[in-house]
Copies of this chain bind each other. A is one copy, B any other.
Amino acid sequence: MLTLLLFGSVATAFAQDVESQGISSILEIEQYGRAIHIMAMLLIGFGFLMVFVKKYGRSALTATFLLVSVSLPTYLAIKGLGIFEEKGEIEQFILAEFGAASLLIATGAVLGRIKMHQYLILGLLFIPFYMFNELVVIDDYFHFFGRVADTGGSIVIHAFGAIFGISAAIFLTTKEQREIPIHADATSDRFSLLGSMVLWVFWPSFCAALVPNEAIPATVVNVFLALCGSTLATYFASVKIRGKISPADIANAALAGGVAIGSTCDYANHVEAMIIGVIAGTISTIGFAILQEKQQKFQKIVDTCGVTNLHGIPGLFGGLVALVVVDGIDVGAQLKGILTTVIIAVIAGLFTGKIVSLFGQPKVIYDDEAEFETEVSE
């Protein structure tokens, strides 16, 4: 009798086990779906967003290909050294994709002013710095912080990348280059809006990539609402400030809600998410329309894609907003996390910019012809 009973409960336990294995495997496959979405953002999204530079489209897309291809294996190889906590294979891969995203953001600041092989050097140097910041701020390797709220990477992905990029730009912008205008045209704008839309559509998968299952639906809706908010705000701010709509504002600032909701995507309620989006879109558009020119003069740089205004300021705003939105947040940890990220990004960016600048400088900038076999189009 007891045997039978034992058998019964063993059977139950076994059923549970089989199922829970099945479910954990299913969960990893769903995670892989999100990894694919993020890859679409990296290549097609970031890649085409940068195609707004009229004569530099093929270069921007090739650079995107190379940056992704060099950063993912580099990240995974360093993770394999054993300093880091073991994680699921897809989770690891998604973390590598986050690094690639941050790298692409950084690159946006210097786009068109370095040669193709310099993008590779930039990528190789960026990843270890990025991982060091991740280790310190998110994994809290030195037990220095406590928990920093940054699920979708407002701080460690977006702000880090942007600040790294504009720091590197200091060594990667000459005086003459600062006088050269960056041209777009109707076709490059349409390609850029394609990139922007790809980022918009898949952004929830970026933020929810590593969120526990139960929290995914609310996170997804939050991210979409933040994006709706920033898109609407961008339109109004763009018309208000400029009198006309700027295609660059729409393609870029419309995404600021996604940047800013990152830190709080799984904590905010829907109304908060929408408000965060509206504020982010507004400050991002103000950045593009008013501040960018002043900043570039002040820093003596060109920020080709305006990453300061899409990723830098909205990223920091997103990190700070967590102080208000997240119940029981560790205020000290959050502030220390932001500050540390800024400091590491500045130092690493300056260092990397200097090194990359030693490898040459293109004669013609913002132009494919410099390095591509291109046919003269009639």
Contacts and interface: CB of A to CB of B under 8 A. Distances in A.
Nearest 9 pairs of A and B residues by beta carbon? A185-B377, A69-B228, A69-B231, A89-B217, A244-B373, A43-B197, A61-B193, A15-B16, A246-B373
A299 interface: no
Nearest to A215: B25
A78 to B, nearest CB: 14
29 contacts: A9-B11, A15-B19, A19-B19, A22-B213, A26-B30, A28-B217, A29-B213, A32-B220, A39-B201, A44-B197, A47-B197, A51-B190, A58-B250, A62-B247, A62-B250, A65-B197, A69-B232, A70-B232, A73-B274, A120-B232, A183-B375, A184-B375, A186-B368, A189-B374, A190-B191, A245-B372, A245-B373, A246-B372, A247-B373
A48 interface: yes
A66 interface: yes
A178 interface: no
Interface string A220-240: 110011011101100100010
Given A93-B221, A190-B191, A198-B44, A27 B26 contact: yes
A95 B241 CA distance: 35
How many copies of this chain? 3
Nearest to A19: B19
The interface centre, meaning the residue of A7, A227, A229 with most chain B CB atoms within 10 A of its CB, is A227
A33 interface: yes
Contacts of A247: 58, 62, 372-374
Contacts of A12: 8, 11-12, 15
Contacts of A13: 11
Given A62-B235, A120-B232, 7 more contacts: A1-B1, A5-B8, A15-B19, A44-B201, A70-B232, A186-B374, A247-B373
Given A37-B36, A374-B186, A375-B183, A214 B27 contact: no
Counting contact residues on chain A (CB < 8 A from B), the size range is 35 or more
Interface of A: 1, 4-5, 7-9, 11-13, 15-16, 18-20, 22-23, 25-30, 32-33, 35-37, 39-40, 43-44, 47-48, 51, 54-55, 57-58, 61-62, 65-66, 68-70, 72-73, 76, 88-90, 93, 116, 120, 183-187, 189-191, 193-194, 197-198, 200-202, 204-205, 213-214, 216-218, 220-221, 224-225, 227-229, 231-232, 235, 239, 242, 244-247, 250, 254, 270, 274, 368, 371-375, 377-378
A122 to B, nearest CB: 14
Nearest to A62: B250
A217 B57 contact: no
Contacts of A1: 1
Contacts of A246: 372-373
A244 B61 contact: no
Contacts of A197: 43-44, 47, 61, 65
Contacts of A198: 44
B218 A89 contact: yes
A244 B372 contact: yes
A118 to B, nearest CB: 13
Contact of A39 (B7, B65, B224, B231): B224
A40 B201 contact: yes
A39 B228 CA distance: 12
A58 B192 CA distance: 10
A273 to B, nearest CB: 10
A268 to B, nearest CB: 14
